[in-house]
Structure 1
């Protein structure tokens, strides 16, 4: 291959040349000998209009391309510039495909023999990056990207990115390169053209001998694991008062001496030391995290036993370890050891991964890409934690086949065992609620024996308990499990005639699985009880063993057939594999047996879930089905959840701990903790309660504004409400010149309002970011929002809590509807019916408390520091027109509440801003 590369970027009027899209700018950079040697840049007259959004995105106007050469004039020069070079682009399918099509129109038949896609290369060589957009990668590599979305600038940055990728590739150890050469053969880029010369060079100079910073595991290369020195006991333990005094003496700009935080520290320490149970609501700004970490580490040092800190999400676990623990370490005069422990499925099983590399011939593109990513990632990861990887959806499915399970964990290179060992040596073990519940209900605990627990974000604890005491099954996972077992059985069929005989049965079962989930979806779509919830899925409840009707009878018979025949097949396969494993066999055969055995266990777990969900019934559980109305004919999900988890939590969790502190910014309704005392089963534990108010001056920092000219949200004319609030949201952003976060309770309404506001935004002067409309995760959308100088962010679900608007700049908050859970959701319906059957008012005991807690969470998004200020607009007039509306307002901090027409409210807050 030539050592010459041409890096090309195109700006175009659209995506499809056959539909009239044309090139408006070409940027090309030539690289030779790992250096940029030449450039080719030109505007192109497209002989058609440039759409406004393209002009906005690129900054290229009709005036700039007027008088530029036509593509017919540019084509010969460009072809000459690219001659003899490998083709490189950031998203080759687009640039190469578009260029090929437009050259064809001019009579040129061009197709590069060798090409490299820097998106694909970045995914492999930078496997932990959050995003593979050119702007994000240039920031990661500190490249000066001056004019994004202009071809000359993008081509230059892509060239520099390509050189960085080549340099990274050349730095990889020999064994990794040899494995990469195998798995990248069927990827889009011509990887072998880059890899093989490097392999040859490294073999000639015996480079492998010098690669001492790595460990070897079979044919894999791993980052060298440095054993931690043994935990040293503290020579002397200061009093807790002295620990607090030292902490505030060392305080920096990030830590303030706040009365509420001191009180929290004292009460948490008292609860942990006296083996008490404590429910503690700490208002926003209290400094809650340090408020429980400082007493926890002191108790851990004093007792010599770790304290477990549990939070809601994996992201919050990482935040605790990466941000809060280092801050704690800087405040105390003794060493602090902290460790994260996650569910076993988060960790890579290196043995499984190595075995999977022997099977590449039938792998999909996504699986091959993921294997390549993991090969590079193993050189960098100390934890083997899946959350470090940026995987595609196909990669997520592949991960299921190589994640750690309940197999042998005796190898010290086992990432899960390593994490457990680290946890046993720590003062603070950071887990999430899911793992805490798994540890509670499993016979073999995942955590070391601990008696003191802090539960942060405790308002989610009962819901997580319901999830993990319940059962779920979706078509995609179950079908994938059977497909994987079928493939492995086919590969292993040469080892045994009995295995070969199971393939026919396997095919029949797979057809039954497809038929079952198609019937389940049809049942949901056709039943009169089906409802469409806020997620857009249609759902209906069912009673597994007493449901009637011809369709349900067919479902029951099909599920019974799958369960019976599936267990027989699993039993035969398991027996054959056991006998084969006991016989003498080659390493390759042993690898096939182990892989098939793991797949069999996965099918068994899914099949038992099917039995639990469709063939048996248990009192106290609610069962329901969800289906995607616009999805595949078998896009169906089955769920089972316990109605009440209070007894289980009381008996299996709280009764087994000496002290538990549960804390959150939202644990009270109307200043009462009774809702969560009942939900969590704490009534018999003499639980103490403490409410610490926020230190923020809400009276001056914010106002609760309720427009009087908003249509009734409960009205029959949904279009009227959507049209009206779209205009009002636009006016808030336009008139106040501030960013606006809008919180919805349904994706459907969010989308409708988003597109209405976009129509008002004709000049595209205001950036609009919509969850589920704009590409990206909620965290990614929030990051974009923070970097904008103005704009509107439309969010639902995850944006009601956990999303910190700090550093987002001046903002206003709009709450579209009071966040009552939809009565159309099966679990909510079941809760309501249960409350009625017990003689309780379901609205007062279920619906209202849940909505108030969520409303408080949404309100808390706005004021996150003493410097923040802004208004909270509520478009749901029930907050002032109903008796229960007062409960929402009374549950908030003391804040001015103003009602009036929107324009009057806007005039008032704008005039205040001028003052």
Structure 2
């Protein structure tokens, strides 16, 4: 590779006539071959083995180096990754990491050949360098320093980027290297406000909600009577309750196309304006939060106004921690190879809307490119925040977001955060829970509550608690930046109080009973250390003794009783050790609370907040968790409380242990959901396209919906409302159940996927009930689709995060995607990009100990049918997202019971056919010469 640092630059034009483009080849790789374009323009099609050889000789331009390396079956290699240049020049900009995505990103025509796609790598790079040159140093005086720091660590783009910024001598820094990384010094500080006034209690009239809806839609909008009726119905929830503990609950099922998002935004926004308090809209996934946020542009079209009125809330673990970024920057002296990742993180941090790294404006592919530990690992994932004790507290993204949410009109949250706040009786930061909620994707409330109200005594949980208490311990290699212990977090708060310091020391000393680093090897060697590891070692032995572990490389579970010899004795010893740990934690909390009282007239606001936060953390992270563990251990001698299920498990992957522990879940987690959240609210809307299962009995369906959402356990009677989809599923969709493919023969299953995907010419989503089945199908069918010019992407196979995979699938009309539950639940792909869904088999619930308990509780086989019917209904619902969408749903399972067929819309053609006939029908359905338009478009 050669570059010319003396390329002439014309600084008089907005975009210079010439920039210093690296003289390097262009590389674009598929599953079977690669296109290689030399710096002189010679185009070659190479076997991937030859391309793998050449990249070791000269670094090429690529788009997503790690995915390219995976296709070439080699380790990551030096390259000019266009995505890294995008992350530097346009930090926080959205770009799908494919050639077609690059074309859309720069406004170029979609490439019509793989050679044209490869040329986009050069075209995009040149445009970005010209753009950087046009900005000049005054636009961002620290960008050059960041680029120089990255270049010193081997960033190949460094010379070109510095030349574009008119750095005449790229090796003579104008700023001290590393200064540009100190983004925390340049962020605007947030300011505190007086406490918010209590909300008023004014209702929302249906006619006002309908008028607001009309305003949101505009004069040119198509009339949708269902949406208007939906808005009127959900308005009932936005009224003050008449009886304590009896909220106004509306269960509203709205089929796809009704327009439920704007339908509930209309009354919710009016309530927030009239009552001076925020409405919380909660959805299941972070991607869906982004979609709701996008719809709110209609309510607040002016960007700055929206920034004040709409806030997206997530858990702390989703946001960049500035202290972690600072410590990672300081560690570059000993870890210089991290400079590229930290430099790109600093560039993003300077442009992000709110510091959200999971579903926000952080490009998901960046973590795949430069490492998850150096990107997503910089969030506060271990509850180590020191709040106002942090030097960056006044600029913290999280604290800024929390304060904005208190003064916003609408807060867009997710079920996980809402449930955790409810479980903890209100967040540390919020002070009290909201009075009104909208739960979109309400069919997921059961699972969200199940996660929030469960308890896990496992090796990893124990290890995390020990790190939270002790921090870095002697003999470990763990970075101090990722393990700030209790003593470090509280050192200035306890410096003048000997007794409080002693309690911290006692807590740290007692934490030695918990799981330590290296526990996996010690358990395998039968040499556990301490009471926690001893108990977990016995637990592991019981699981292995009572399962067929030799024939399963995957996770295992076993009942807690009868116990093997030694298990109860080790549980008693562990319970005693946990009680020894619990005592100083409780005393430390009491001591800190006393200080709040004794020094009420002396403590400044920041110190008071820190003490309050420390007390809350000690309660939630320490006392509550340990008390739950003690209760679970006691039940091993006695009986598990009737509302719960306990079991042992060994989490495994590839035949190796990842975690081992004792688990406790509510049999019906909507009970605590109802008690801690629904009954405390004034009003709640619970809405979804699949609230009811469609069993054929309307009353039975609504009773099931009330139980799954927790409404059944709240006093009063919820309002039920159902609005059918306006789409013509009879004309727009087909369902085929394949009756001649053996679902346990992966060769047959793979062949079926291949032929169906070829028949639809892509635009296909393959859903799987097991990751192993997905990987097998991908391996067998991938090369065949590649040979046909169709790109196949796969969750759990490709080096891409799930959100990025969905973005690619949405953007590329003829690509296909294989995935599991996360894809089924989170994908919203309108248009021709999704026109075929193939499910590998009937998605029966997995037969686990927990499922058995719930099956017994909820009605036996009817519970199985209910769960399965809902999964089929949700999967089918991915097909038609817009008025003119058309699609086919295929199930590769001849054992599909006819009683489950009412999961599909009434009147839709459901045919049990052989594979060959289904392939023919798929081809005919998508043949543009023969396909029928929906009735309304004829």
Task: Please indicate, yes or no, whether the TM-score normalized by the shorter chain is above 0.5.
Answer: yes
The answer on 1:467 being equivalent to 2:451 is yes
Helix, strand or coil at the partner of 1:705: strand
**Greater C-alpha Rg:** 1
CA contact 1:300–1:428 (8 Å) conserved in 2: yes
Query: What is the match of residue 679 of structure 1?
Result: 708
Tell me, yes or no, if structure 1 residue 308 matches structure 2 residue 292: no
Shift in Å, 1:266 = 0.7
Residue matched to 2:373: 394
Given that 2:289 and 2:412 are in contact with CA atoms closer than 8 Å, whether structure 1 keeps it comes out as: yes
TM-score (norm 2): 0.70
Tell me which residue corresponds to 1:898.
Answer: 911
Distance change in 2, residues 1:533/1:749 (3 Å): farther
**How much does 1:708 deviate?**
2.9
Find the residue that maps to 2:296 and give its secondary structure. helix
Residues 777-797 of structure 1 show CA distances to partners (whole Å, capped at 9, x for unaligned) of 233223333444534322211
- How far residue 470 of structure 1 moved from its aligned partner, in angstroms, is 1.7
Paired residues for 1:172-191 under 5 Å: none
Q: Considering only aligned residues, what root-mean-square deviation do their CA atoms show, in Å?
A: 5.9
Within 2, Cα distance between the matches of 1:254 and 1:623? Answer: 58
**Cα shift readout 1:122-147 (whole Å, capped 9, x = no counterpart):** 65665546679584668646689977
1:873 aligns with 2:844: no
Question: How many residues of Structure 1 are paired with residues of Structure 2 in the alignment?
Answer: 809
1:510 Cα deviation after fit: 8.7
Contact 1:29 1:159 in 2 (8 A): no
Q: Is the 8 A contact 2:325 2:378 kept in 1?
A: no
The 1-side partners of 2:660 and 2:155 are apart by 33
1:706 aligned residue (734, 737, 752): 737
Structure 1 residue aligned with 2:564: 548
Q: Is the 8 A contact 1:222 1:379 kept in 2?
A: yes
Aligned match of 1:11 = none
Q: Does 2:859 align with 1:841?
A: yes
1:422 to 379, 385, 404: 404
Cα pair 1:90 1:158 within 8 Å, conserved: no
Partner of 1:221: 186
Q: How does 1:613-624 map to 2 (within 5 A)?
A: 613=629, 615=633, 617=635, 619=641, 620-624=644-648
Q: Is the 8 A contact 1:533 1:539 kept in 2?
A: no
Contact 1:474 1:637 in 2 (8 A): yes
State the 1:159 CA deviation: 6.0
In 2, distance between residues paired with 1:305 and 1:282? 27
Name which structure has the greater RCO, CA cutoff 8 Å, separation 6+. Answer: 2
In structure 2, the partner of 1:538 is 555
Measure, in 1, the Cα distance between the counterparts of 2:115 and 2:189: 39
d(CA) in 1 for partners of 2:582, 2:157: 43
Q: What is the SS of the residue equivalent to 1:417? A: helix
The residue number in structure 1 matching 2:12 is none
Whether the aligned pair in 2 keeps the contact of 1:574 and 1:600 (CA below 8 Å) is no
Is the CA contact 2:741–2:894 (under 8 Å) kept in the aligned structure 1?
yes
Q: 1:783 aligns with which of 807, 822, 826?
A: 807
> In the TM superposition, what is the alpha-carbon distance from 1:403 to its structure 2 partner?
7.6
Q: Which residue of 2 aligns with 1:829?
A: 852
Question: Which consecutive unaligned segments of at least 5 residues does structure 1 have?
Answer: 8-27, 45-49, 98-111, 580-589
CA distance in 2, matches of 1:143, 1:535: 50
Say yes or no: does 1:858 pair with 2:875.
yes
Instruction: Give secondary structure in 2 for the equivalent of 1:801.
Output: helix
Distance 1:798 1:451, change over 3 A: same
Aligned equivalents of 2:273 and 2:447: distance in 1? 32
Is 666-675 or 136-145 further displaced after alignment?
A: 136-145
CA contact (8 A) 2:557 2:648 kept: yes
* Partners of 1:51 and 1:164 in 2: CA distance: 28
Match of 1:22 in 2: none
Aligned-pair CA distance for 1:314: 2.1
Does residue 746 of structure 1 match 2:743? Answer: no
Shift of 1:813: 1.9
What is the DSSP-based 3-state SS (H/G/I as helix, E as strand, rest coil) of the residue aligned with 1:319?
Answer: helix
1:643 equivalent in structure 2 = 667
Work out whether residues 485 and 600 of structure 1, in 8 Å CA contact, stay in contact via their aligned partners in 2. no
Deviation, 1:55, is 3.3
Q: Using the alignment, how far apart are the partners of 1:521 and 1:125 within structure 2? A: 52
Q: Indicate if the aligned counterparts of 1:733 and 1:791 stay in contact, CA closer than 8 A.
A: no
Which residue number in structure 2 is paired with residue 106 of structure 1? Answer: none
Matched residue of 1:734: which SS?
A: helix
| Counterpart residue number, 1:408 | 388
Matches within 5 A, 1:206-355: 220-223=185-188, 240-241=206-207, 244-245=210-211, 247-248=213-214, 251-252=217-218, 255-273=221-239, 275=241, 276-321=248-293, 323-329=294-300, 337-348=309-320, 350=322, 354=326
Cα distance in 1 between the residues matched to 2:137 and 2:106: 17
Report Cα offsets for 1:16-63 as digits up to 9, x if no partner.
xxxxxxxxxxxx99856694478868899xxxxx99955355599xx9
Does the 8 Å contact 1:346/1:404 carry over to 2?
no
**Cα-to-partner distance string for 1:345-372 (whole Å, 9 max, x where unaligned):** 4344546655775555555855x55544
Q: Distance in 2 between matches of 1:504 and 1:751?
A: 45
Go from structure 1 to structure 2 and tell me whether the alpha carbon gap of 1:871 and 1:384 turns closer, same or farther (over 3 Å shift).
closer
Structure 1 residue 822, shift from structure 2 partner = 0.9
Question: Per the alignment, do residues 168 and 747 of structure 1 end up closer, same or farther by CA in structure 2, a change over 3 Å counting?
Answer: farther
Task: Tell me: CA distance 1:876–1:468, structure 2 relative to 1, closer, same or farther (3 Å).
Answer: same
Would you say the 8 A contact 2:471–2:484 is kept in 1?
Answer: no
Distance 1:267 1:184, change over 3 A: same
Distance 2:357 2:128 in 1: 25
- The CA distance in 2 between the partners of 1:134 and 1:438, in whole Å, is 37
Q: Distance in 1 between matches of 2:575 and 2:136?
A: 50
The alignment partner of 1:724 has SS state of: helix
CA contact (8 A) 1:516 1:559 kept: no
- Post-superposition offset of 1:293: 0.9
> C-alpha distance in 2, partners of 1:181/1:37?
16
1:774 matched to which residue of 2? 798
What does residue 433 of structure 1 align with? Answer: 415
User: Which residue among 821, 824, 840 is the counterpart of 1:797?
Assistant: 821
- Secondary structure at the aligned position of 1:694 is classed as coil
Change (3 A) 1:556 1:534: farther
2:826 counterpart SS class: coil
Q: State the 1:190 CA deviation.
A: 10
Cα 1:55/1:269, change in 2 over 3 Å: same
- State the 1:436 CA deviation: 1.4
Select 1:692's aligned residue among 700, 708, 723.
723
- 2:356 is the counterpart of 1:385: yes
Q: How do residues 476-555 of structure 1 correspond to structure 2 at under 5 angstroms?
A: 477=464, 484=472, 488=480, 512-515=516-519, 519=523, 520=536, 524=540, 527-530=544-547, 537-541=554-558, 543=560, 547-550=563-566
Distance in 2 between the 1:38 and 1:419 partners? 41
Conserved in 1, the CA contact under 8 Å of 2:324 and 2:378? no
Instruction: Render the CA deviation track for 1:602-646: whole Å, top value 9, x for unaligned.
Output: 999479747744755563243443422327655557644222223
Deviation for aligned residue 1:511:
7.9
Describe the shift of the 1:352–1:698 C-alpha distance in structure 2 as closer, same or farther (beyond 3 A): closer
- Matches for 1:193-204 after TM superposition, within 5 Å: none
Mapped to 1, the partners of 2:30 and 2:274 lie a distance apart of 66
List gaps (5 residues or longer) in structure 2: 10-15, 70-77, 242-247, 524-535, 596-605, 931-938
Give the aligned partner of residue 902 of structure 2: 889
Retained in 1: the 8 A contact 2:277–2:407?
A: no
Aligned to 2:33: 55
Say if 2:809 and 2:833, in contact at 8 Å, map to a contact too: no
Q: Name the stretch that deviates more: 339-348 or 33-42.
A: 33-42
